[in-house]
Structures are given as structure tokens and as C-alpha cells.
């Protein structure tokens, strides 16, 4: 299955059986070219963004991408670019989609007890991609267009992730009822292969190779606490057997034991997610205050960071300032702390001071994605939109599908008086968010600008044609 599901669940399988998916390549790569698979992956992400709560927090996005890239660099089989992203959900889960797009649920990050455990799940997913486990038989008669296929694949993941196949099918309304029903699920051999290759990748990347069986074992013990059939999502989609745990331990023992210290970035990301999960700021303040007083924490510095974020949200600025100044005194270049201090300054009425902190941080870390985003937002708040373009446009080179970049560039262009450019950026924001009709409408508006050069007009018209073609493909699937 496309979800992380180490063994496919029955509800997800039923959802899969209702969808006829085209082949997305075979091991020799002779059905879809790398370029076509990349197109499918990008279309898949547009559908995911349109249907799931993809986290757009720049710090969290940067962390999970960095962790994923460490594993990709250590993989013996990974080629091309990969995108790692987080889904805002308490579920303990992850999934691999076409084109190297790997989603990680926030609940998984918080539940793991070490960075190696988190890396083990991601390494498993990377292995599913590198070993072409998403490959299925091509049916030329009943094949879909790439955009329609992407929606169908995303629907499978949504149905499995929610443990409700009807939700997934609702996301893929219009799939022809007469299509051949076909099941897509990872076989036991696929899972064993992903375990073995994932453990090897962990070891190559310097993580603890035993973290995978340790995590499996912990989840297996947790399953004994549930005897009413209402297992947590991870336990429904990740049945853990004693044989599987034993096999994973056996494979891990082939590598030298390595005790890896968790990165500070891992601990800070977990606390940032934890703060977001509290119902209100006072709940978070109480939690962190008590934990720090009692000495109940895994990483004291990260807990102080979480406490700072909760204090800022609760508008207890004086106490928050003491905490963040203490953290910055020890690590003045820590990006998470610079961003937190800037947010504190902004909310306490010192927006210019906050923007200056971000500018200085960007000078220290040229091209840093989170700092660029937060500085751009600060400039927009200060009414300085003309400075935003030169900060954000270079980011598009490495993040051509980033909806947040397009949204901010659209606002900056509009605020600076360049309405046509604003419509273009807004069109890309809608497009990459999976909203094709609004994207086309924005380009139609932009093309009415009589001052456009021939080249600009032709380029924009070609882009509009691409979007309309994709929109027609999806409508044809629905009819």
C-alpha cells in the first residue's frame, strides 16, 4: 500500500480495490520515464495539499527535509530529489507517494523517543521508493491521465490515513465505476525488503540501526493495552509480530553498535509540535512550568524553548523574554531562537526590532529558508514589500512547489503595486494547492494587462493552457 502500512489493513485494501490506478513505472523504468514520474509526484502533492493538513511551518519543514536528506545521502539506491513534509495529525504514521514524496505525521515525531526511531520509519519509506514498490501493471485500455492518477493515489492514502475508505473515495469522486478493480498493497516481501534496506541506510547515515526493531517492539508492547479492537492508527496499519521484531534485530546486529546522540533540532521540533497541540496557551505554560520544576524532561534546553513558545502565545512577554534571552546567550546563532525572539518582539509591539533580528540572522545564515520566510513576513508587516522579491525568489530554485513562497510573493507584488505579477504568483499558489480553476482565473486576469510584452504574454498563455488541459483531464475522469 502507498501508506507506510507495514502490512495493509482491510479497510484500506477495500478502498484500494475501488480504484483503478495506472502503472507508475516498473523496475526497469520502461513505462513511465523519470520526467513523467516526477510529473505524477508533483500532481500527487497538489492533491495531498488540497485534501490534507500539510504543515507549512518553515522551521518544521526545514527540519524534516534535512533529516530526510541525511538518509537519502546515505542510501545506496536513491536517485533524484525527494520531498519530505509533515501532516498535522496526532496519528503515528507516515507514507510514501510517487516521485519521492514522503509524508510524516506530527504524531509520529512526538511519539518517537529518539531521532534514530524517527529516522527508522523514514528510512523504511525511502526504501519503498528506491525499490520501486509502488510499481504496478500497466493497462493501456483503462489507464488514467497523470493528473487523474495522482488524485486516485492520494485518495488511497487519505482513506487509509483516516481509517475510513469512504473519505478516500470521496476525494476521488468520479472514478469510472466500470474500471477493473485492482488491489495495490505492499507485499510481505516488500516490507521485509524495506526493513532490511532501511536498517542499512540507518547505519550508513550514522543512526542507531537497532532503532527500527526497538520502535517495533515498543509499538508491539503498546498493542497489548488495547483489547477492544480500537487500536491507535499506527497499530492498525503496522501489525508488529515477534518474528518481524526478531528479523529486524538480526539485521541490525550485522552492523556495529552505534549510540547516536539526538540532535538539538530534533528536540526543538518535537517541542514546537507539542506546543501547537495544546488546546490553549495556559495549558502549555502549566505543562512546561511543572516539567521544568520537577525535572521531568528529555532535554532541558528544548523544554525551555517549548516553555518560551507557550509564554509568547500566552502573551506573558516579560517571562518569555527572560527565557529566550537565556537560550540566545548560550546559542546566539540558533535559528529557532532567533525566530522566537523576533516573534516576541513583534507581538510586544516592537516589529522593527524583530525584523532586524531576522535580517541579522539571515546575514549569518545566507539563504536559510525559515529565516527568509520570517523576514519576508516581517517586511510585509512593516510595509516594505519591494524588498521581499529579492529575498524569496531565490528560494523558488530549490522549492518550485512551495505554496507559502508563492503566497507571500503574491502579497508582496500586490502591495508593491505590481498587480499582474501578483496574479501570476497567486495562480501558482492556487495551482500547487490543487485548486486549478482559481489558478486559471488568476492567469486570465493577468493576461488582460495590455502592457505585457509579447514574450511575457506568450509565456503566461502557455502556462494557462497547461492548467486548463490538466483541469479538463480531471473533469473527464469525473464524467
Q: Quick check: 415 pLDDT over 60?
A: yes
Q: What is the pLDDT of residues 185-199, one digit of tens each?
A: 456 677 788 899 999
pLDDT at position 79: 83
Q: Quick check: 24 pLDDT over 70?
A: no
CA 304 – CA 16 distance, rounded (Å)? 45
Higher pLDDT among residues 235 and 292, named by residue: 292
Where does residue 119 rank: exposed (0-12), middle (13-18), buried (19+ CB within 10 A)? buried
191 known ligand binder: yes
How far, in Å, are 73, 123, 244, 356, 466 from residue 133 at the CA level?
20, 14, 19, 48, 30
Q: Quick check: 315 pLDDT over 50?
A: yes
pLDDT at position 82: 93
The answer to whether the Cα torsion of 37, 43, 45, 47 is positive or negative is negative
Higher pLDDT among residues 261 and 165, named by residue: 261
Report whether 260 contacts 208 (CB < 8 A): yes
Q: How much of the chain is in helix, strand and coil states, percent to nearest 5? A: 65, 5, 30
pLDDT at position 193: 86
Task: Please report the domains of the chain, with CATH numbers, ordered by start residue.
Answer: 10-252 (no CATH), 396-479 (1.25.40)
C-alpha cell at 172: 476521488
Q: What is the pLDDT of residues 25-49, one digit of tens each?
A: 444 445 567 777 788 888 889 989 9
Lowest mean pLDDT among 108-112, 162-166, 179-183, 257-261: 179-183
Q: Quick check: 356 pLDDT over 60?
A: yes
pLDDT at position 8: 33
Q: Quick check: 267 pLDDT over 70?
A: yes
Q: What is the pLDDT of residues 104-115, one digit of tens each?
A: 999 999 999 999
Q: What is the 3-state secondary structure (H, E, C) of 439-470?
A: HHHHHHHHCCCCCCCHHHHHHHHHHHHHHHHH
Higher pLDDT among residues 323 and 227, named by residue: 323
Mean pLDDT of 143-159: 65
- Give residue 135's pLDDT band: very low, low, confident or very high (50, 70, 90): low
pLDDT at position 163: 47
Q: Quick check: 361 pLDDT over 70?
A: yes
Higher pLDDT among residues 10 and 445, named by residue: 445
The torsion angles phi and psi of 87, rounded to 5 degrees, stand at -110, 130
- To the nearest whole number, what is the mean pLDDT of the chain? 83
pLDDT at position 282: 96
pLDDT at position 136: 45
CA 272 – CA 302 distance, rounded (Å)? 9
Mean pLDDT of 50-68: 96
CA 379 – CA 383 distance, rounded (Å)? 6
Lowest mean pLDDT among 105-109, 112-116, 155-159, 290-294: 155-159
Q: Quick check: 170 pLDDT over 60?
A: no
Residues marked active site are found at 125, 195
Amino acid at each position: 500500500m502507498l501508506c507506510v502500512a507495514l502490512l495493509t489493513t482491510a479497510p484500506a485494501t477495500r478502498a484500494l480495490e475501488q480504484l483503478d490506478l495506472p502503472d507508475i513505472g516498473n523496475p526497469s523504468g520502461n513505462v513511465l520515464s523519470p520526467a513523467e514520474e516526477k510529473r505524477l509526484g508533483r500532481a500527487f502533492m497538489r492533491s495531498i495539499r488540497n485534501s490534507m493538513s500539510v504543515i507549512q511551518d518553515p522551521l518544521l519543514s526545514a527540519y524534516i527535509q534535512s533529516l530526510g536528506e541525511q538518509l537519502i545521502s546515505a542510501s545506496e539506491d536513491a536517485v533524484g530529489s525527494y520531498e519530505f513534509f509533515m501532516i498535522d495529525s496526532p496519528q503515528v504514521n507516515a507514507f510514501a507517494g510517487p516521485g519521492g514524496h514522503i509524508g510524516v505525521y506530527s504524531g509520529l515525531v512526538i511519539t518517537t523517543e529518539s531521532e534514530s526511531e524517527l529516522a527508522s520509519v523514514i528510512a523504511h519509506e525511502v526504501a519503498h521508493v528506491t525499490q520501486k514498490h509502488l510499481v504496478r501493471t500497466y493497462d493501456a485500455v483503462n489507464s488514467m491521465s497523470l493528473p487523474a492518477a495522482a488524485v486516485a493515489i492520494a485518495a488511497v492514502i487519505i482513506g487509509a490515513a483516516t481509517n475510513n475508505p469512504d473519505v478516500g473515495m470521496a476525494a476521488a469522486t468520479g472514478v469510472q465505476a466500470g474500471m477493473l478493480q485492482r488491489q495495490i498493497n505492499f507485499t510481505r516481501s516488500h516490507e521485509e525488503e524495506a526493513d532490511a534496506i532501511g536498517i542499512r541506510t540507518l547505519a550508513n547515515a550514522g543512526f542507531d540501526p537497532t532503532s527500527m526493531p526497538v520502535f517495533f517492539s515498543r509499538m508491539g508492547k503498546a498493542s497489548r493495552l488495547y483489547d477492544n479492537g480500537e487500536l491507535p492508527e499506527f497499530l492498525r496499519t503496522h501489525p508488529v509480530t515477534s518474528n518481524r521484531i526478531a528479523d529486524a534485530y538480526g539485521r541490525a546486529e550485522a552492523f556495529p553498535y552505534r549510540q547516536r546522540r539526538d540532535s538539538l533540532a530534533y528536540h526543538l521540533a518535537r517541542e514546537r509540535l507539542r506546543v501547537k497541540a495544546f488546546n490553549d496557551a495556559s495549558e502549555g505554560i502549566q505543562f512546561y512550568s511543572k516539567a521544568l520544576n520537577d525535572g521531568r524532561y528529555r532535554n532541558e534546553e528544548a523544554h525551555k524553548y517549548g516553555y518560551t513558545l507557550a509564554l509568547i502565545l500566552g502573551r506573558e512577554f516579560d517571562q518569555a523574554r527572560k527565557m529566550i534571552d537565556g537560550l540566545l546567550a548560550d546559542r546566539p546563532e540558533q535559528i529557532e531562537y532567533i525566530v522566537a525572539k523576533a516573534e516576541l518582539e513583534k507581538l510586544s509591539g516592537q516589529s522593527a526590532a524583530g525584523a532586524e533580528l531576522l535580517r541579522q540572522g539571515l546575514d549569518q545564515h545566507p539563504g536559510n529558508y525559515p529565516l527568509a520566510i520570517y523576514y519576508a513576513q516581517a517586511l510585509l508587516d512593516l510595509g516594505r514589500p519591494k524588498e521581499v522579491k529579492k529575498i524569496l525568489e531565490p528560494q523558488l530554485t530549490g522549492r518550485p512547489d512551495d505554496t507559502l513562497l508563492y503566497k507571500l510573493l503574491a502579497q508582496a507584488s500586490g502591495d508593491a503595486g505590481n498587480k499582474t505579477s501578483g496574479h501570476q504568483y497567486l495562480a501558482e499558489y492556487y495551482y500547487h494547492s490543487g485548486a486549478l480553476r482559481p489558478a486559471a482565473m488568476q492567469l486570465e486576469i493577468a493576461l488582460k494587462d495590455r502592457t505585457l510584452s509579447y514574450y511575457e504574454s506568450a509565456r503566461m498563455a502557455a502556462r494557462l493552457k497547461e492548467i486548463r488541459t490538466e483541469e479538463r483531464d480531471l473533469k473527464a475522469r469525473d464524467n
